[in-house]
Amino acid sequence: MDKRTAAARIEKLKKEIRRLNRAYFIENKPQASEDVRDALKQELITLEKEHPDLVTPDSPTQRVGAPLDGRLPKVRHLSPKESLQDIFSREEIDDWMDQMQRALGKDHLHLEFIAELKIDGLNISLTYELKQGVYQLRRALTRGNGIEGEDVTHTVRTIEALPLSFPIKESKQLPKHLEISGEVYMTKAALSHLNKDLPEDEKFANPRNAAAGSVRQLDPHVTAERDLRIFCYAIDPQGTDTLGITTQKQLMEFLVEHGFPVHADFTLCSSVDAIHKVFEGWQKKREALPFDIDGIVIKMNDRKIQRDLGSTAKAPRWARAYKFPAEQKTARVLDIQLQVGRTGAITPVAHLTPTLVSGSTVARATLHNADEIERLDVRIGDTVVIQKAGDIIPEVVEVLKNLRPHGTKPFHYPLHCPSCGTTLERPEGEVVRRCPNPQCTASRKERIEHFASRHAMNIEGLGEETVELLLEEGLITDPADIFTLAAEDLMALPLFKQKKTENLMVSIERAKHIPLEHFLFALGIRHVGREIAEILARRIHWPVQKKEVTMEGAAGPQTSLFGSETKKGKLHGIMMESICQTLQEMEAEKLAEIDGIGPVVAASVKEWIDEEDHRDLLHKFAAAGVLALQSEGSHAPQIFAGKTFVLTGTLPTLSREQAKILIKERGGKVSSSVSKKTDYVLVGADPGSKEDDARKLNVAMIDEKKFLLLLK
């Protein structure tokens, strides 16, 4: 695949993976199975390995985990949460072994591993605080984005098997806080019992989604009735070091000794053959288990070797998730229809005969683009192979041409937009066809839905049906019109009663004062995902002004129909006019130099702001009173710009994550390994091999005290 084709395919993959992740992890309404998401992610990993210059910070491969829900308080983890790299074959295990042995050298020819079940549940981090010789549960967080998670202490406390406190033997050195990781899950029997009493459209597709939905309940009484379970399997590195735990086996034994539920069937393995034997054994027995598993987790047993191997930007080098192969089913293609996205991208979708795959009904599958249809030669009437899926969108693997009905015809990609009839364009270097009409009703609807979505402006109550109704009634034509809606307008619409109208108006008023990174993401600029938006918000110098505004929480003047009072105050923020001027004046080359941006994103941002319609949109936001709030840390002087740090050991007062944030907020990079390009190695107590690497390469080493002096 040439570079241009790869770039277009990578963008499509990233968009689809993000959408599926949101549906699966946040909304608990899977639109594709984990196997399908794995398949898409593996394709993305392969393409990015072939074209490393196309890797961007907002890629699903560069980040951990899934996006935060937003309903529950967000709290920072004591230590960053990593995700495991997946492998699917014996050959990939061999490659991994070779990588580790090359990294460790001849002194470690015989390695020992622990093979544990990979429970298909929701990852939870439990923080225990030491008081008078007893550790007490203080907080439970979801994984979130790996840096911060949702506080679900109120529901996790209802899990009967989880100790709320445990005593520990006296020791001179015990960590004040101990962070224990586990997987909350629901048994198949509990899911069946739960679904029995739920309406058809509210039933959970699988135990994993039922567990996730139950943990995120606002009312712990609801959770308590749902028989959640948990298996624990990890302790934060600082805790294990202080407790003198030297192996993964000892870690599991410590958890068992102190009353934590641990799946007892973990196995010590000293060869690839032994690992593969465990894998095959569980693959045969998985259906008989009372809960779902999707593979096994392989971990280096020796914790010193774990430290020596370290981690990449998002995953430990000393562990892998060995996953079972995807399940496949067949379905017939009833129709192929085109969908219009917010950027005008046209996506063909295959409508399938409803097919039950592992408890979920598959009805549609994306065909990506015209080239993909041609490659697969998909035709209406064909029988296709689909991977294991969720409620809506699976992966089409192949067409079973021997089952093709007589008289089927190749699918001819339409020349015109199915919504507005405009002639479609195929930009040079792209595989996707686009509708160039900025007034296209379908793409305009998608843009407004994106603008109002949870991780953008988070305007609750402004979903797909409401946006469509507002467009049909002519009450809005673009996102800025949302802020001019009046309660009287909404009350005249079907299904809009007083409470629904008031809630929407309050949500709209709150959205007028939104963090800058959320606003930049909401604009829908091509290639600007959530992480890119955060980089732009933090790394560009935005002029901050003080402005008198209607304070958050007041319903605002438009809700006067209900007699709400307005409340004035002053906020520091970035005016819409300043955003417009800053982006216009900033050169593309200067923008591309920002770490994590690059020429593709820079060109896309400049192309967006060069459009007169977009500048007019920003001025409409200004007239409506929208103010972007300054990002935390964006004001920090960029004293580490161009500098690369490596962290090793335990710092006296700062956690590793706190140190990383201080570095990144000031323009620096944090690497996981020492090289000639490293500027500083920040050394704490009990450093690993990185200290030796720094000495060999003559890289400057500093302690926490010197590091803090650099910040002044």
Which amino acid, residue 345? A
What is the Cα–Cα distance from 178 to 131, expressed in whole angstroms? 12
> Which residue shows structure tokens 């809606």?
485
Cβ contacts of 269 within 8 Å, gap of 6 or more: 112, 113, 114, 115, 275, 278, 298
CA 663/CA 642 separation, integer angstroms: 11
Contact 548, 570 (CB under 8 A): yes
Query: Which of 660, 573, 578 has its CA nearest to residue 615?
Result: 578
Distance CA 480, CA 490 (A): 16
Report which of 302, 313, 333, 331 is spatially closest to residue 410, judged by C-alpha positions.
Answer: 333
Cα-trace Rg, the chain: 27
Would strands 644-648 and 669-671 be described as parallel, antiparallel, or unpaired? parallel
Q: Which amino acid is at 9?
A: R
Q: Give phi and psi for 326, each to the nearest 5.
A: -65, 145
User: % helix / strand / coil in the chain, to the nearest 5?
Assistant: 40, 20, 40
Is 106 assigned a catalytic role? no
Given a contact cutoff of 8 angstroms between Cβ atoms, the answer to whether 227 and 83 are in contact is no
Name the amino acid, one letter, at 624: A
Length of the chain: 712
SS3 141: strand
Alpha helices in 22-84 (DSSP H): 34-50
CA–CA separation, 671 vs 675, rounded Å? 9
Among 327, 313, 281, 322, residue whose Cα is nearest residue 82: 313
Cβ partners under 8 Å of residue 315, min gap 6: 82, 83, 84, 85
> Could you identify the residue written with the tokens 């492998």?
87
Return the axis-axis angle of helices 704-711 and 656-665, rounded to nearest 10°.
30
The DSSP bridge partners found for residue 594 are: none
Side chain identity at residue 443, one-letter code: S
Between helix 34-50 and helix 3-21 the angle, nearest 10°, is: 150
Sign (positive or negative) of CA dihedral 186, 188, 193, 197: positive
Q: Are 535 and 524 in contact (CB under 8 A)?
A: no
- Closest by alpha carbon to 291, among 375, 381, 229? 229
14, 41, 81, 118: the active-site residue: 118
**Residue of 243, 271, 267, 270 lying closest to 257 (CA atoms):** 243
From the number of C-beta atoms within 10 Å of its C-beta (0-12, 13-18, 19+), residue 521 rates as: buried
Active site residues: 118
